Amino acid sequence: MSERAKNCTSSGVPLEETGSTSFPCPGCDFAIGRSPRCRNQGVIYICPNPECKYQGP
């Protein structure tokens, strides 16, 4: 992974809040960002890499 995500992949909110996280996509290592709200609610994310489109909770 080259860099950390700056916004939540699901909601687009900035990852400034405690509990937010950034991790590599399991499908392609692209940076995935998750806000605490989306993590807690299990909101689906889709990898923003057009060649991957991996989906996760």
E-assigned strands of the chain?
Answer: 21-24, 31-34, 45-46, 55-56
pTM for this one?
Answer: 0.86
Q: Do the Cβ atoms of 8 and 42 come closer than 8 Å?
A: no
Reduce the DSSP state of residue 38 to 3 states and report it: helix
Looking at residue 3, its pLDDT comes to: 83
The C-alpha atoms of residue 19 and residue 27 are separated, in whole angstroms, by 23
Q: How confident is the model at residue 2 (pLDDT cuts 50, 70, 90)?
A: low
Question: Angle 50-27-37 (CA atoms, 0-180°, nearest 5)?
Answer: 85
- For residue range 17-53, list pLDDT tens digits in order: 999 999 999 999 999 999 999 999 999 999 999 999 8
